[in-house]
Amino acid sequence: MGFVLSPSTLVRPAHALSLLLVLSLTLAGCRDKAPVMLSRFTAFETQVDVSLVAVTREQAERAAALVAQDFAYLERDWASDGEAMERVNRLLAQGEPFVPPPSVLRLVRLGQTLEVESEGLVNLSIGRLVRLWGFDAATTAGRRPPERERISALVAAAPSMSAITIEGLTLRGSNPALSLDLTPIARGQAIDLAIRHLKDLGVRNALIQAGDELGALGERSGQPWRIPVLRPSGSAVLAIAPLRGDEALATVAEHDRSFTDRGRLYHAVLDPRTGRPADGARSVTVLSADATHAAAAARALFVAGPTDWRRLAGRLGVRQALLVDAEGRLHVTPAMAERLELVDADEPVTIVEPEWPAPVAQDGRRP
């Protein structure tokens, strides 16, 4: 039995909580031993759903408030068009040391690590390229591709997270082309933080979903959380991924933010090496222990494309992944194949093992 709260916004938390209170009282007379309560709000330009199972009225009330506050706090600091991030990017471009919000400092550290691990395919410093394409705007309607010369100039400027120096609590940029865009991992980080806070409250069964990223706790009334994985176009369900226990899933797909010009689709997953939308893949889904890793890995594998995704999956420690290539063919790792339930059981699937790095001997050499 599921119940849905009326949509609420982050600026009206009291309204959301009052609805949750009424809902939890309604559930008291329900014969379902483990009802599912759903609260909903908007953050990071997407709908966020929080499903709670077998919680008390007090737990549900506190949990709904805490998750909404987490997302509101992080969106304030991380939104590309927000006052905090505009200040950070202005000061990074000036090259003078400054103290950023603590949450931004943490993501800069993480972004530097992700850029190295992904071999530059996850680069949080290409905000100027994102804005050039118009993918920072609320809508992409009527967009056209930018001039090649402007793309080439930004790529040649080589923005990189390595051009940010961290000294204590301060940041200093050394490349004027630097401009942070935390979108690739912002929602995943917010989900992971909210999941940790739910655990602290004693919640053991929950699901938090923001767009194509989600984090799960425990089960749904004794059954796994059954998560639809959409086709790259976003128009239909490709498969169901059962999640049980503490797991997260993220999908990067061409439908998420895109526009069409002269019959060609341009999506927002930019390849930092070319400054253009990555080609070769139409969607990538990764199942991992946390939403941040799933989101970052899915983006890296999408940019790597069908020719290099297996090697990069091994490097990133990804065991469960699905890639749909430009021709619509499905490539699935063995561990993911065991989990996925395809809607069309006759759909051809290529099962491919990630290319795991060779073990390193004690002397630092590979056999």
Q: Where are the domains of the chain?
A: 1-80+182-213, 83-179, 224-367
Question: What is the model's pLDDT at position 64?
Answer: 86
Contacts of 323 (CB under 8 A, 6+ apart): 281, 283, 284, 301, 302, 306, 309, 330, 331, 332
User: What does the pLDDT look like over 16-74, one tens digit per residue?
Assistant: 443 443 344 333 334 445 688 889 999 999 999 999 998 887 788 889 889 999 999 99
Mean pLDDT confidence for 183-209: 95
Domains 83-179 and 224-367 agree in fold: no
What is the rounded distance in angstroms from the CA atom of residue 26 to the CA atom of residue 293? 38
Helices (H) and strands (E) in the chain, counts: 10, 19
pTM listed for this prediction:
0.88
Strand order in the sheet with 237-243: 225-230, 237-243, 341-342
Q: What is the mean pLDDT of residues 83-91?
A: 96
Cα-atom radius of gyration of the chain, to the nearest Å? 21
The predicted-structure confidence for 123-144, as pLDDT tens digits, reads as follows: 999 999 999 999 988 777 788 9
Nearest C-alpha neighbor of 268 from the set 109, 127, 92, 75: 127
Cα dihedral 310, 312, 313, 314, rounded to 10, equals 90
Residue 306 has pLDDT above 80, yes or no: yes
More confident residue, 2 or 206: 206
Find out if CATH 1.20.58.760 is the number for domain 224-367.
no
Q: Give pLDDT, residue 29.
A: 37
Q: Regarding the domain with residue range 83-179, which homologous superfamily does it belong to in the CATH classification?
A: ApbE-like superfamily (1.10.3980.10)
- Distance between CA 52 and CA 61 in Å, rounded? 11
pLDDT at site 9: 31
pLDDT at 367 over 70: no
Confidence check: pLDDT of 226 > 70 = yes
Q: One-letter amino acid identity for 125?
A: S
pLDDT at 360: 53
- Band of residue 359 on the pLDDT scale cut at 50, 70, 90: confident
Q: Please give the average per-residue pLDDT across 244-267, as a whole number.
A: 93
Q: Is the pLDDT of residue 312 over 90?
A: yes
Across 205-223, average pLDDT? 95
* For residue 77, pLDDT beyond 70: yes
Helices marked H in the chain: 13-27, 57-78, 83-94, 102-117, 127-133, 148-156, 183-200, 291-304, 309-316, 334-339
- Buried-state track 16-50, b at ≥16 Cβ within 10 A, e below 16: bbebbeebbeebeeeeeeebbbbbbbbbbbeebeb
